[in-house]
């Protein structure tokens, strides 16, 4: 992060005025660097040959939608991809709803195309929820990148269609969701840089083919989950219910830190960071 106070660059020993460099947490201490000598992120630990949830029958889920706000967005397309590369894909006919041009520019699906090639929303949403419920009921891990977004979009769509939600069908069973974003933030909290799907795939050496398509993103998501498990043995060896609780803790800690940063740097911002995971507390 940018340095708020002046300091001395750890590499060249030059004075770094406030706001002209960065600070990086190293060995429990914040150290200043000039922009020229800003350290690059450390690579993740090497892969191991240990067993764990990353060697089981995982699947990745992703949906492409109409808007960034999950409360308002509707599902345009979705995919469930397993570790063998087998996939189930869905395309929704939006009916009278219009896919905004800015959303179509991201995932490439226009209203006209979805109406011509998609199937009715009620039919597709029922199939998606049933596929996820079957996978989760079998105790298999489901990788979802930034799970609260995708899961809330699906939850709201099912409610609008007057269909039972995934949570209702599971009836209180702890869902073995694996969120690579939450895992990465918990395992490497001080790494600088973006943590979107593309950036994380670069960091972990994962090929992201077909970015911003449901199939491409779902495949990359499950590959990321496998890669993180292979590189962090202590986490990989957790039972899925324990992994769930660990992610709950990490998501809460991240939100708390983000809230403290906003309160400190942007007084009066009026934003509340909800750290409940994998679904917001308002759900």
- Residue pLDDT, tens place only, 134-193: 999 999 999 999 999 999 999 999 999 999 999 999 987 767 999 999 999 999 998 888
Residues 6+ apart with CB under 8 A from 163: 122, 125, 126, 129
- What's the pLDDT at 283? 54
pLDDT confidence of residue 182: 98
Beta carbons of 250 and 256 less than 8 angstroms apart:
no
Q: What is the pTM of this model?
A: 0.87
- Measure the CA–CA gap between 22 and 36, rounded to whole angstroms: 10
Q: What is the pLDDT of residue 281?
A: 59
- The pLDDT score that the predictor gives to residue 279 is 84
Q: What are phi and psi of 14, to 5 degrees?
A: -80, 150
Q: What is the CA angle 219-191-234, rounded to 5?
A: 65
pLDDT at 3: 84
Average pLDDT score, the chain: 93
Give the per-residue pLDDT at 29: 83
Residue 37: predicted pLDDT: 82
- Output b/e per residue, 127-162; b: 16+ Cβ within 10 A: ebbebbbebbeeebbbbbbbbbbbbbbbbbbbeebe
Q: Considering the chain, what percentage of its residues have pLDDT values greater than 70?
A: 99
How far apart CA 104 and CA 100 sit, in angstroms, is: 6
Would you state the pLDDT for residue 282?
A: 55
Mean pLDDT of 36-56: 91
Q: What is the pLDDT of residue 86?
A: 94
Quick one: pLDDT band at residue 49, thresholds 50, 70, 90?
Answer: very high
Give per-residue pLDDT as tens, 240-275: 999 999 999 999 999 999 899 888 888 888 899 999
């Amino acid at each position: 992060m940018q340095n708020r106070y002046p300091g001395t660059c750890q590499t060249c020993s030059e004075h770094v005025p406030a706001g002209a460099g960065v600070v990086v947490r190293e060995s429990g201490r914040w150290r200043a660097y000039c922009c020229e000598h800003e350290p690059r992120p450390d690579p993740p630990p090497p892969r191991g040959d240990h067993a764990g949830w990353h060697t089981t029958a995982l699947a990745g889920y992703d949906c492409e939608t109409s808007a960034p706000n999950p409360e308002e967005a509707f599902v345009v397309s979705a995919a469930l991809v397993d570790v063998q590369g087998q996939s189930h894909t869905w395309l929704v006919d939006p009916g009278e709803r219009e896919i905004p041009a800015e959303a179509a520019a991201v995932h490439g699906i226009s209203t006209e195309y979805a109406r011509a090639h998609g199937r009715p929303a009620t039919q597709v949403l029922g199939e998606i929820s049933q596929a996820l419920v079957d996978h989760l009921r079998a105790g298999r891990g489901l990788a979802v990148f930034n799970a609260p977004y995708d899961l809330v979009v699906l939850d709201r769509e099912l409610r609008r269609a007057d269909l039972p939600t995934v949570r209702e069908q599971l009836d209180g069973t702890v869902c073995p969701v694996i969120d690579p974003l939450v895992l990465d933030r918990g395992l490497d909290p001080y790494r600088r840089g973006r943590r979107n799907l593309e950036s994380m795939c670069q960091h972990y050496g994962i090929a992201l083919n077909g970015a911003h398509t449901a199939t491409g993103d779902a495949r990359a998501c499950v590959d990321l989950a496998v890669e993180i498990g292979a590189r962090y043995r202590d986490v990989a060896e957790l039972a899925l219910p324990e992994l769930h609780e660990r992610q709950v803790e990490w998501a809460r800690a991240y939100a708390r830190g983000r809230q403290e940063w906003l309160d400190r740097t942007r007084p009066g911002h009026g934003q509340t960071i909800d750290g409940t995971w994998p679904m917001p507390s308002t759900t």
